[in-house]
Amino acid sequence: MIVIGALVAVCAGLVWRRDGIDGVLKILTHDLWLFGEIMPRVLAGCLLGGFIAEILPHDKVSRALGPNSGLKGLLIGTAFGAILPGGPFTAYPVAAALLTVGADFGATIAMVVSWTLIGYGRAVAWELPILGTDFTLWRIVISLPIPVLAGALGRFVFVWIYPKGEPEPPA
């Protein structure tokens, strides 16, 4: 977060030099509005994450999506990411909740990557009208194997880096 803060400060400085204080304030007010609009959805996402962490039985999740869940775990993660409704304000809190109830990095990577690549929400709302049906469908077909492959690669690299398991529980 410190790196991002520094990056933001530098960029705000550049905007100030280019557009003056008016430019800085214009972006600030626009983004404050956006922030106000997003907040209720973030709260909903956090509550979803909280409920999932409490309701889902840990032993079942770690069997279905844990380090030993094999290809099936990656496929479940992919399917879950593809059907998850809502936007980033649901996907990331839910993914974080899955990590805390026993999903491993591999299955969670499959879920996040599947949500961003083959999730229907963004494709239907934005990609179809802007890029056209032909392009969008082929793009999705080509993307289909990627979540499982990314999850498998993630699992493989994880075991390679941390052969004795994770050094500390995820925050």
Partner 1 sequence: MTLSALIIDITLWGSVAILGVMAWQRGRVVLVSSVREGSMDFINIVPRIALGVIGSGYIAAVIPPEVITGWLGPDSGWFGVLTAVIAGAATPGGPVVGFSIGAVALKVGGGSPQVIAYVVAWALFAFQRMILWEIPFMPARFVWFRAAVSVPFPFLAAAIAMAIGKP
Query: Cβ contacts of residue 150 below 8 Å, gap of 6+?
Result: 109, 110, 113
Interaction with partner 1 in 64-123: which residues (CB under 8 A)? 85-93, 95-96, 99, 105, 108-109, 112-113, 116-117, 122
The least CB distance from residue 47 to partner 1, in Å, is: 4
- Separation of alpha carbons 46 and 49, rounded Å: 5
Scanning 10-18, 58-66, 71-79 for contacts with partner 1 by CB under 8 A, the matching segment is 10-18
Interaction with partner 1 in 128-167: which residues (CB under 8 A)? 130-132, 134-135, 137-139, 142-143, 146, 149-150, 153-154, 157-158
The least CB distance from residue 129 to partner 1, in Å, is: 9
- Separation of alpha carbons 88 and 103, rounded Å: 19
The least CB distance from residue 62 to partner 1, in Å, is: 16
- Separation of alpha carbons 28 and 8, rounded Å: 12
Buried b (16+ CB within 10 A) or exposed e, 121-137: bebeeebeeeeeeeebe
The least CB distance from residue 64 to partner 1, in Å, is: 18
- Separation of alpha carbons 104 and 23, rounded Å: 44
Instruction: Choose which of 28, 58, 70, 83 interacts with partner 1 (CB under 8 A).
Output: 28
Instruction: Choose which of 27, 75, 79, 159 interacts with partner 1 (CB under 8 A).
Output: 27
Scanning 47-55, 60-68, 72-80 for contacts with partner 1 by CB under 8 A, the matching segment is 47-55
- Separation of alpha carbons 29 and 161, rounded Å: 44
